[in-house]
Structures are given as C-alpha cells and as structure tokens.
Amino acid sequence: MDTVQAAFLPDHFINRELSWLEFNARVLEEAEDTNNPLLERAKFLAIFASNLDEFFMVRVAGLREQAFSDMLPQDQPVDGLRALNQLQRLAQRTRQLVAQQYVCWNKSIVPALAEAGIRFFAVKDLNPEQQKSLDKFFRQIVFPVLTPMAIDPAHPSPRFHNRGLYLAAMLERISGIGPQRLFAVVQVPQVLRRFVPVQQDDKQNFVLLDDLIASRLPELFGGYQIVDYGTFRLTRDMDIDLLEQEADDLLRSIESRLRARQRTEAVRLEISARMNPALLKMLVTDEELHCNTKSAEQGYNEVYEIQGPLDMTSLYELVQTIDRKDLRDPPLVPRPPAGLRDYDDLFAEIAERDILLHHPYDSFFPVLDFIESAARDPKVLAIKQTLYRTSGNSPIVRALAEAAENGKHVTALVELKARFDEANNITWARHLERAGVHVVFGFMGLKTHCKLAMVVRQEGKKVRRYVHLSTGNYNPTTALVYTDLGLFTADKAMADDASALFNFLTGYSQNHDWQKLVVAPHDLKRRTLELINEQAQRAREGKRSRIFAKLNALVHRQTIEALYQASQAGVPIDLMVRGICCLRPGLPGISENIRVFSVVDRFLEHSRILVFGEGPKQQVFLSSADWMPRNFERRVEVMFPVEAETLRKQLLEQIIPIYMNDNRRMRLLNADGTYSRVHPAEGQAALRSQTELLTLAATRTEAVEAADAPQTRFDGCMDVPSANGDPDRVREKGKKKDRGTASRG
C-alpha cells in the first residue's frame, strides 16, 4: 500500500504539459541570448523546433485522442485540467512561443548572420549569374527527384508524410487537357539540402530549396498558370501504443507499427503566412483537423500560421554546413577520468577501486574499452548488457558481435520500444542475432530503461564480475552532448544484484533479496518515498536533514506530496529538475523549504543524482529513473549507491555545489509555474556550471599529467572540432601497452 495519502489540492500542482512547454521556452531563451555564439543560437532554435515536433507527435496526440474520442476514459491529471482544457491552453502558449521563435530568427539571428557575411536570398532577388547557377542545380539535381501531384477526382489527395514539407498550388489551365482549375502539391525532397548555396562553391549565401522549387512551379505544371501557392507541413500522431497482449514476435509487431506510422492522424498543420483560404480549407478538410476557435465545445485550432520558413529543424543542417569556428562554442575535449590516464588493464583498475565517469567532461573511451577489451580478452566468459538507445554504426554493437564471434556468451537486452529509435534498435537486434548474440527484448508491458553492463571473467580459480552502471545510454554520440554519470565497480553485492537483474530480464527470475541496487518496478517507488519520509522524520525529531535531487522530470504525485510533507517538517530540499516539474515551490505552509531550479546550457543535463541526509549517514545514489509514474511502475530502472568516499566527495563537494551556485544558466521555478533567470549578485563572480565542470575536468587531468608525465600511456581524449558537429565521425585514440591502438568512428 502507498505510504503517502493524497492530501493536497489541484492548485498545489503544475500541469505536466504546460510545465514541459516552459522547459522548451528555456531552450528558446538560449537561442535569444546574444551572449551565445551565433551558430549555437541557431542550433538552439533547431532544438526548440525538434522538441516541439515530438511534443505534438506524442503528448498532444494523446490528449487529442482523449478529448475527441468517446471511447477513451478521461485521465484526471493532478492539477485537475481536463484534456480539452489542456489542449486549448497548450495551443495558446505554443502560439506565443512560436511567434517568439520567429521574431528571434527574423529580427535577431538573420541580421546577425548577415553581419557575419552569411546571407539568405529570395530566388527572385538573385543576379543573372546566380540564377544560371541555380537553374543548373535545379535541372540536374532537383527536377529528377520531384513528383508534381494534381488533386482531382482522378487523383485523390496523397497521404502527406509526417513532418514532410510541401508546396500546395492552385492552378488555372491555359492550354492542353485537364480540369480548368485544380489543386496540386509538390513535396520538398528531404534527401536534398534545404539551404542551397546560390553558387556551387559558395558557403555563405543561400536560398531555400522550397523557394527554388516554388520559382519553377510553371515548369512542373506545364499548360497551367500558378494562381497561388503556399507551403505547409503536417505533424502526425507518432506514438506507438503497443497493446498489452502477448505477441508471437515482438520484433515483427513493432515493425508493423512503424510502417503504420505514416498513416496516423494529423495533429498540427503549419502553413506559410497568408496561405490562400481555398488551399487551407482543402488541407483542413482532407486531414480532418480542428480549426474552430469560436465554439466553446470545440474551441481548439490545430492550424499554425508561420511568419517565416517552415521547419526550423533544418537549421541543424545550416549549423553543420557553415565552417566558422568563430561562431561556435570552443571545441569540446573530453578528458580521461581521474586515475585512468595511465592503465594497462582496465579490469585490474576496477578490481582495485570503484571509478566514476562524468560525461561529457570525462571521455567515453573507458566505457567502449570495457566492452571492446572484454570482447577480445581470453579470460572473459560472458558479457551481458542493456541497450536502450545507441548510435549509428555503434562500436558497442560491433564489440558485442565480435565477442559472440569469439565464442563468448553474450546477452543483449535490446529495448525495441525506445521512442523514435525503434527502427534503429530493430536493425541492431537483427545484426546481433546474426552474430550469435542472445538477444532478448524484455517485456511487453515494461520498457527496459536501466543502463548496465556486466563482464564475467575467469581469474585463476575464481570468477569475478565487473559491472558498469549509468544514468545514460551506451551511446558515444550522445555522450558528447549529454551530461551523464557512470560507475565501474567489482563490488560483490552489486554484482550479485546485477546478475539477478539480468536473470529477471531474460527469464522472469524473481524473489531476489536486493542488497544494494534499488530496482523498478519492484522497489524503486517504495524506497524513494521511504528515503524522503526518513528525512521528514529526522527533521521532526530536530535532527539534521537534507534532500537534493537532480532529475530530468518530477511528475509522480505521491513523491511530490512526500516532498511537501518533508518541507512542512522542515527539511531543506533542493531540486534540480531540467524539464517537467509538477511541484510548486514556495507555497506558504506547504513548500516553503523547497527550491526548484533548472539549468539549460550547451549540454543536455541528463544525469540523475540523489542525496538524502547530512553528515556521516548521508546516502548518495545515481539513477536511470526520473520521479515519474512510468519510471516507477512501467519501466525496469535502477537506482544505485555511490559508496567510495573519494567518489562521494567528488559528487558532494565538487559537482553538486557547482550546479547549486550557477548564476549564469540557472532558472528558478516560481510558485506560479514561471521561471526567473538567476544573475550574479553585485560583487559576486559569475559562475556557469557547465563551463566550471569543463575547467574542473581539465584541471584534474593536468594534475594527473604533471604527476606521471614521463610514463603516460593513455591519451583517450576525443579529438573533436566541436561538440555540436557530427559525433559519429569523431575518432578516439587510445594507446595501450598490451592491447595495441583502437580507432573508433
């Protein structure tokens, strides 16, 4: 039975979806911040747009289904807002943010790029030489790809792709056969670059591909006059809701759902400004979109008029195209973790002591080396690993396949239901199976979201297990741009628990007496509430108490209520919540002792750190889970303790205080659900936590280098031009005395 009773009112909670929009608003603030390098600002605009796409495809789609379906029950969120009310408020706030986004692009970033020599032109404004160059590009590259599609009774409206960019045209026949007036569409090919150089060798002046195609519409529809045209983009419901039923083949079931994605309902229509009303009516009618802003019952408008180029996610392409280091953040150089710069045998190092990695400040190389060395080590008997998301051409997947080919017993827990990575994970699952890896797909009703790997090694007459646990995925790509923490350990109790967890995942084996790992859905919710309540009880007894939690999201009602009760008892609580937070801090008599803050910066804050208590009994955990219902109840998650004193000090005396003292990228959550940016007080030094952590990692590495410079054998730093470039093309270098040199893509 749950230990925390519902004792708080809906007004004491922030709506989950509105809270997420405020997170994306903080992302947009980074695009607006003129202190950020110009191309980084453009990148944040792309991130904002990409985030919003996913929000509509998943969260808005789910609410829409509830609001407009008589078949589905209405979920009652903790804040009391029903589905239609949420949709209306979300649409209102989204329109404000999108307007803000395009003001940032049109009024700030475009003029600043022009000052830097990077300009955007309309095709009609180009000189004859530039027109000639573009004409050649169009005829040789673009025209063969295009498919002009008329829409009439003989040619029904095509099924427009999710997030595809289209030109819609109204045509009037001037010669030849065909209807006197018709509609037509042309898809802007996603296989071609969106930002087209006005001349072949020009990397500074661009036209939009859709503008180029629009200028050639008369050629595409010969015999017709172009009366009017506009661009549009549809967002569709893209969430895979697997039915909770047994399937003969989960792989085939998900593959089938992926194919069905392109046939799902539209949830948003973006149109260029001043689109012809007849064209708009055709799209709204064909896609059965809601476009009624007056009716109280159906007062929800899914059409968004855009004051600029549609699909700002294409700015990723622009950022990668322009080679201007002066417009980017300084290059990221992840450092070798403390104590691992000079090693011959990683397993010997782990056997001697626990090792903490803090990415991206610490290199991801030791994690790759852990799996790759195990694949080739004749002493290794078995490798077991979970894979939730991994990179393209993954070195982890290659190493697991190599291990199986080398005769080792290899088990991979591949989560096929990792949202929007399903197709990628299916590909790797097939590849691993062909190599001889025992691939397990977890459970129908639970996502395997925990991140752990275990290597079983024969050492003389004994078998020793080495474990890596992490807050983030086994993905060298995201390890360059996400902050995560990983722990290497050979602790027997941890290894026993890891073995039991793998046995649960592969064979439903249960009833293990967990010693150190806290696992969802078994015990994580209960233990989290227990740890919070213990601090509340200490405060009531007049003892020292404290709670610190660094999370991506805080949604779970019972956990929020437990935190409210701990605050009422006098527990000082600091919550660093990057994204969604449904807790209202600073409510008189309820949450006066709770401070909630968020850091949005160059790297995505993804690590979860939990601290309970003060003094010698202080408990420190890392976790793969956020405090959300799905993490507690519908996922396999792991919370694991950090016990080595040196590692505890690293977290408690370095990493956490740096985050707590940020006065450059920190935003404080107010009781009304808004956020206020923190600025240095008068006379106070400016501190940007991610920059400070980069400096800390560099200082630590320099100290190690100074201590053993004559015999340094490991240079596992990533030599990259930028953390925002293409991490899959990064090459890591690691020199080992007894294992040669490995090069990774």
Determine contact, residues 687/661, Cβ cutoff 8 Å.
yes
Is it true that the peptide bond before 360 is cis, omega within 30 degrees of 0? yes
Determine contact, residues 306/674, Cβ cutoff 8 Å.
no
Best CA proximity match to 451, nearest among 615, 613, 637, 318? 637
Determine contact, residues 494/481, Cβ cutoff 8 Å.
no
Cα distance from N-terminal residue to C-terminal residue, the chain: 50
CA dist., res. 118 & res. 205, Å (int): 6
**Residues 6+ away with beta carbon under 8 Å from 426:** 251, 254, 255, 258, 416
CA dist., res. 183 & res. 458, Å (int): 71
Catalytic residue check, 161: no
Best CA proximity match to 521, nearest among 538, 536, 505? 505
CA dist., res. 611 & res. 617, Å (int): 11
Q: Which two tokens stand for residue 419?
A: 């949202």
Q: Which two tokens stand for residue 56?
A: 């509509």
CA dist., res. 551 & res. 596, Å (int): 11
Q: Which two tokens stand for residue 188?
A: 């802007």
Best CA proximity match to 143, nearest among 61, 73, 221? 221
Burial class (CB in 10 A: 0-12, 13-18, 19+), 100: middle
DSSP 264-312: SPEEEEEEETT--HHHHHHHHHHHT--EESS-TTT-EE-EEEESS-S-G
Q: What is the 8-class DSSP label of residue 262?
A: G
Give the active site residue among 290, 358, 449, 556: 449
CA dist., res. 384 & res. 395, Å (int): 16
Burial class (CB in 10 A: 0-12, 13-18, 19+), 506: middle
**β-pairing verdict for 635-641 and 518-520:** antiparallel
Burial class (CB in 10 A: 0-12, 13-18, 19+), 370: buried
Query: How many C-beta atoms lie closer than 10 Å to residue 671's C-beta?
Result: 16
**Residues 6+ away with beta carbon under 8 Å from 9:** none
**β-pairing verdict for 438-440 and 409-414:** parallel
**Residues 6+ away with beta carbon under 8 Å from 56:** 235, 267, 268
Backbone angles phi, psi at 181, to 5 degrees: -135, 135
Query: Count of residues for the chain?
Result: 745
Determine contact, residues 377/407, Cβ cutoff 8 Å.
no
Residues pairing with 596 in the sheet: 575
Query: How many C-beta atoms lie closer than 10 Å to residue 6's C-beta?
Result: 10
CA dist., res. 467 & res. 451, Å (int): 11
Containing H/E element for 743? strand 740-744
> Residue 206: CA atoms inside 13 Å, Cβ hemisphere, count?
22
Q: Amino acid identity, residue 228?
A: D
Burial class (CB in 10 A: 0-12, 13-18, 19+), 505: buried
CA dist., res. 574 & res. 595, Å (int): 5
Q: What is the 8-class DSSP label of residue 539?
A: H
Query: How many C-beta atoms lie closer than 10 Å to residue 428's C-beta?
Result: 23
Determine contact, residues 101/313, Cβ cutoff 8 Å.
no
Any idea which residues carry the catalytic annotation? Answer: 449
